[in-house]
Amino acid sequence: MQLEVKTVLNRIQHFVGFVYQEVRLRTQRGKLHIEVKIEPHQSMRGRCSECRRPAPGYDRLPERPWLFVPMWGIVTWFLYAPRRVECREHGVVVEHIPWSEGQRPVTIAMMCFLARWARRLSWRETARAFQTSWESVYRSVEWFVAWGLARRKLEGIEAIGVDELHWGKGKRADNFLTVIYQIDSHCRRLLWGGRRRTQASLRRGLAALGPAVVGGLRFVCSDMWRAYLTVIAAKAPQAVHVLDRFHITLHLNQAVDQVRRAESGRLRGRPLAKKLKHMRWQLLRRGSRVRGRAKQRLCGLLRSKLATGRAWMLKETFQHFWTYRSLSWASAFLEVWCGWALRSRIEPMKKVARTLRGHQELLLNWFRAKGEISAGAVEGLNNKIRVVTRRSYGFRTYDAMEIALYHTLGRLPEPESTHRFC
């Protein structure tokens, strides 16, 4: 028995009311492509694209191509001349075409195929691998994401993390975006992303989630960014607001780095300056993770009584804070640590201490929420998102990048009927 392409097509993609008429292999400018001609089933009427009910035929439009999933790496097209039907309710309309979505020149199967590959490869690589354009990969992912967003369920969300992200080049307000994650232990995903990092951005995000979701929140995790604090206090007063560990460590690290830069500037040309050379990454690591020669140099630096060494010690000591079980001990430690930092005569560390003191209540909420939210959730999602935004140098627009974020981190539902293609 010989296998016909039609047999394969009927097995993987059978459309009720339509038949695969003819399959041809063609050459155009030295390149092979496959054309699959489709005809309506003779004894079945077309369906109205509005209400999907069968309706009497009216006329036929000219033949149109749709890009299908490539077979054996050969670009494959569906060709079909759509009928127009006269629906009793909707008048003369184009029939419902099950492989097509609006005016798009790509079949639904191919859009799903491209969109799934666009998660494993960059969009440019996907376009190249399947001999199509960047634009059609973009449009496919866009459709795929819209489909998922329209069908996702926002139930049982108890903990969210709010974060600001930088993307692209430059520090303009438009180069930032606000993201909202779900950080419940049973589900971690991106819920929303929007332009800028203002109060208005976060308000828009919470509005998009809807009052039922916001009203049901028990924990909100964020950085000490003033705009976010204000909005969260106003919109979700019932939730425990936690300043998360990841961001606090980030602030401490930034302070240490500032001290190091200032000090190596002051010491330029003097022998002590050597102690600070090539130490940037070692200083930003957790002490227990610095090993070998780097550890020896770090110890040397600490003995030298340089401000950088003292700043590093302060940062390192603060890690104890997170290990307390009791709220009152943690609070006592915070008090002592801030005292040290404020007497250190190192301005960046003093600044961190003042900020932490100013947000003491929110900081101690960490212990009130302990066990309920995962410490690494925000950091983990943050790292994943950076992979996408970095890849996004290829994305020419903000919109494309936002779609890519939902696509990779949104855990959106997917059209199931097309799973077989990849």
C-alpha–C-alpha distance, residues 161 and 381, integer Å: 10
- The answer to whether residue 240 forms part of the interface with Zn ion (CB under 5 A) is no
Closer CB to Zn ion, residue 37 or residue 90?
90
Per CB under 5 A, the segment of 90-98, 109-117, 194-202, 204-212 that binds Zn ion is 90-98
410-385-171 Cα angle (round to 5): 125
Q: Is the dihedral of CA 276, 281, 284, 287 positive or negative?
A: negative
Nearest approach, Cβ of residue 84 and Zn ion (Å): 12
- The answer to whether residue 85 forms part of the interface with Zn ion (CB under 5 A) is no
* Interface residue with Zn ion, options 38, 48, 160, 311 (CB under 5 A): 48
* Interface residue with Zn ion, options 67, 85, 87, 231 (CB under 5 A): 87
Taking Cα atoms as reference points, which of 84, 148, 85, 63 lies closest to residue 112?
Answer: 148
Residue 53 CA from chain centroid, whole number: 39
Per CB under 5 A, the segment of 85-93, 218-226, 377-385, 403-411 that binds Zn ion is 85-93
Size of the site for Zn ion (CB under 5 A): 6
| Cβ within 8 Å of residue 274, ≥6 positions away | none
Closer CB to Zn ion, residue 24 or residue 52?
52
Q: What are the structure tokens assigned to 220, written together?
A: 């909100």
28-32-36 Cα angle (round to 5): 95
Half-sphere exposure of 204 (CA within 13 A, CB side): 13
26: three-class secondary structure by DSSP = strand
- The answer to whether residue 342 forms part of the interface with Zn ion (CB under 5 A) is no
Which residues are registered as beta bridge partners of 181? Answer: 161, 190
Which residues are registered as beta bridge partners of 68? Answer: 76
- The answer to whether residue 90 forms part of the interface with Zn ion (CB under 5 A) is yes
Which residues are registered as beta bridge partners of 180? Answer: 162, 192
- The answer to whether residue 89 forms part of the interface with Zn ion (CB under 5 A) is yes
Per CB under 5 A, the segment of 5-13, 87-95, 211-219, 404-412 that binds Zn ion is 87-95
Closer CB to Zn ion, residue 48 or residue 112?
48
Nearest approach, Cβ of residue 396 and Zn ion (Å): 39
Nearest approach, Cβ of residue 136 and Zn ion (Å): 30
Q: Judge contact between 342 and 353, C-beta under 8 A.
A: yes
Nearest approach, Cβ of residue 7 and Zn ion (Å): 34
Instruction: Tell the burial category of 232 from Cβ atoms under 10 Å away from its Cβ (0-12, 13-18, 19+).
Output: buried
Per CB under 5 A, the segment of 29-37, 45-53, 65-73, 186-194 that binds Zn ion is 45-53
Per CB under 5 A, the segment of 11-19, 48-56, 136-144, 305-313 that binds Zn ion is 48-56
| Cβ within 8 Å of residue 200, ≥6 positions away | none
* Interface residue with Zn ion, options 50, 101, 316, 414 (CB under 5 A): 50
Nearest approach, Cβ of residue 48 and Zn ion (Å): 3
Q: Minimal CB distance to Zn ion: which residue? A: 48
C-alpha–C-alpha distance, residues 157 and 25, integer Å: 52
Side chain identity, residue 120: R
Closer CB to Zn ion, residue 22 or residue 89?
89
Q: Is the dihedral of CA 9, 10, 13, 17 positive or negative?
A: positive
- The answer to whether residue 92 forms part of the interface with Zn ion (CB under 5 A) is no
- The answer to whether residue 243 forms part of the interface with Zn ion (CB under 5 A) is no
- The answer to whether residue 213 forms part of the interface with Zn ion (CB under 5 A) is no
Nearest approach, Cβ of residue 85 and Zn ion (Å): 8
Chain position carrying tokens 């940062």? 315
Per CB under 5 A, the segment of 19-27, 49-57, 102-110, 247-255 that binds Zn ion is 49-57
C-alpha–C-alpha distance, residues 320 and 306, integer Å: 23
* Interface residue with Zn ion, options 51, 129, 208, 327 (CB under 5 A): 51
Residues of this chain that interact with Zn ion (CB under 5 A) are: 48, 50-51, 87, 89-90
